[in-house]
Structures are given as structure tokens and as C-alpha cells.
């Protein structure tokens, strides 16, 4: 997914998001690999990607299940427009997952990659997502679990200070739970659940690469909430703090990134 919040949030830039497409795509590949929907008599007929972003990862679902109807949904019109231009095998639609209500038991595989963290109280959505999946089908999602890391805390601390706070108060802020929380919630709904976490060590290069990473995702609502003159000053301060927290060594910066994975067999 595109790590993008709800329609009330900022405009999203598909190209900026794709700057680290390989690094962002790896968790999606590892998530879907644990979905055991097979071909033949068990092949999925309908696969839905909730929060499909620019569609580059949704295309992998079409590769794996070429005979299935593949649907990609995202709240960002910019992301959907980019996806439609690149992947004709998928039906892309602008939709808010909080209001998405397909016919009950109509989806064989429901995937959501790096999206639910933008939905406050998203545990409350799980019963409806499970209800959308056919008996014997799969619900699989991945969310970042790194919100206590400097890449997020430094932004939040800086945004809470004047003169920025007057503009950033109440902006979209991502959050997620530990794997055990999701496991218990889905097990209580009658699912067989596989939940785990992985911390990736992304090796980044270039000038201010951590800022480049977060400015396309978690920091974007903050940056777009600021007027132009304050945004430039905020970026200067934020970059300096990130360089201190993530020092470059031999031209490389290591960004630890924890992610939480859940695969539920309905």
C-alpha cells in the first residue's frame, strides 16, 4: 500500500512515494507469500488490495493470481490515477476503507499493506473485514510498528513547538498495535491467525535519505499542513535532527524499520 491516510489528509505524490519502492515493497512480498490460497480448485476468484497506492505492488497480486478479478482501492485520487496508468489488469477505484462495504463473503483474498495505521481505532474494522472474506479465504495485512523511533518522534516533537504547532495540531498521525493484539482480536472472530514482526535494516544513500523516506509517507501530513515559509524552516530543522539520530557512515545511513504482519485464515 501507499502508506496514505484518509481523504481528509494531504495530497499524495506517487513518484515521491516510489523513491524507495524496492524497500517499501519487500514487506508486501513477504506478507503475500504467507497466504496459502492456491491455484486449481482453490484458486481465488476475487482479490482486493485495500490501500493500493500507486498500484506497483497490486500488480504482484495479478501476477500470482492471473485468473482472479483483482481490485485496488485507495483514498488518494492521485495514487489511483497513477495506478490506472501503469496496470491495466487491475480495477482501481477511489474508496475510503472505513466506508468500504462489499457484499458479505465476497472476497477470497483481502490484502492491506501499510494502510490500517492511518485509521484511528482500526481494530474496530476487523470484524467487517473478516465478514467480507469468504469462508476458507484470507485476510492479510501489514502495518509499520516503528512509531517510537526518531524518524517519528523527532517530527512529532518539532511539530508540537511554535510556530509550527498552530498549523499541525490535529493532523493525521499513524499508529499500530503489537502482533499479539491483532492475533487475539482475529482469533476471537474465529480465524486461524499467523502474526509476527520483522525489523528491516534499510541501507540508504544520498543527501538526507531518512528525510526523503519519511517525507513521502509518515511526515507528509505534517509538511503539507505548514505554509510555504514555515515548511522550509521546519524541513531544515527536521533534517538536522534526523542527521544526528541517523549518522552517515561511509556514505550510508541505516534506517531500522519494524513492521507487524498478520495473516488470518477465515
Q: What is the pLDDT of residues 207-247, one digit of tens each?
A: 999 999 999 888 989 999 999 999 999 999 999 999 999 99
- How far apart CA 46 and CA 67 sit, in angstroms, is 9
Helices (H), 70-173: 77-86, 126-132, 150-159, 165-168
pLDDT for res 245: 98
pLDDT for res 2: 42
Residues in the chain, overall count: 266
pLDDT for res 19: 54
Cell, residue 247: 549518522
pLDDT for res 42: 67
Report residue 92 CA to chain centroid gap.
17
pLDDT for res 40: 45
The CA angle 12-132-37, to the nearest 5 degrees, is 90
pLDDT for res 23: 81
Please identify every stretch of the chain with a pLDDT value under 50, giving residue numbers as ranges: 1-8, 12-14, 17-18, 39-41
CATH number of the structural domain 14-265: 3.40.50.150
Contact present, 137 and 111 (Cβ < 8 Å)? no
- How far apart CA 118 and CA 75 sit, in angstroms, is 11
- What is the layout of strands, in order, in the sheet containing 133-144? 91-94, 69-74, 46-50, 107-113, 133-144, 253-265, 192-204
- How far apart CA 59 and CA 97 sit, in angstroms, is 20
pLDDT for res 43: 83
- How far apart CA 30 and CA 76 sit, in angstroms, is 25
Cell, residue 118: 492511518
Closest to 201 (Cα-Cα) out of 192, 193, 210: 210
CA quadruple 138, 144, 148, 153: dihedral sign: negative
pLDDT for res 11: 56
Amino acid at each position: 500500500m501507499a502508506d496514505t491516510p484518509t481523504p481528509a489528509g494531504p495530497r499524495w505524490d506517487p513518484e515521491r512515494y516510489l523513491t524507495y519502492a524496492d524497500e517499501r515493497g519487500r514487506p508486501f512480498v513477504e506478507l503475500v507469500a504467507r497466504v496459502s490460497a492456491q491455484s486449481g480448485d482453490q484458486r481465488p476468484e476475487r482479490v482486493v488490495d485495500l490501500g493500493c497506492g500507486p498500484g506497483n505492488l497490486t500488480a504482484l497480486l495479478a501476477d500470482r493470481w492471473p485468473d482472479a478479478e483483482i481490485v485496488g482501492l485507495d483514498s488518494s485520487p492521485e495514487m489511483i490515477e497513477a495506478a490506472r496508468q501503469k496496470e491495466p489488469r487491475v480495477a482501481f477505484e477511489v474508496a475510503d476503507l472505513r466506508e468500504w462495504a462489499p457484499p458479505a463473503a465476497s472476497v477470497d483474498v483481502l490484502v492491506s499493506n501499510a494502510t490500517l495505521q492511518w485509521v484511528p481505532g482500526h481494530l474496530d474494522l476487523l470484524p467487517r473485514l473478516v465478514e467480507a472474506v469468504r469462508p476458507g479465504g484470507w485476510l492479510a495485512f501489514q502495518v509499520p510498528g516503528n512509531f517510537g523511533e526518531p524518524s517519528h518522534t523527532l517530527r512529532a516533537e518539532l511539530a508540537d513547538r511554535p510556530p509550527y504547532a498552530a498549523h499541525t495540531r490535529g493532523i493525521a498521525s499513524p499508529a499500530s498495535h503489537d502482533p499479539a493484539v491483532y492475533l487475539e482480536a482475529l482469533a476471537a472472530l474465529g480465524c486461524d491467525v499467523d502474526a509476527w514482526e520483522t525489523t528491516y535494516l534499510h541501507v540508504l544513500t544520498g543527501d538526507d535519505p531518512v528525510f526523503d523516506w519519511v517525507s513521502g509517507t509518515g511526515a507528509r501530513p505534517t509538511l503539507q499542513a505548514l505554509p510555504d515559509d514555515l515548511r522550509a524552516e521546519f524541513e531544515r530543522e527536521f533534517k538536522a535532527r534526523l542527521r544526528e539520530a541517523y549518522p552517515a557512515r561511509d556514505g550510508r545511513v541505516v534506517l531500522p524499520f519494524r513492521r507487524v504482519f498478520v495473516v488470518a485464515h477465515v
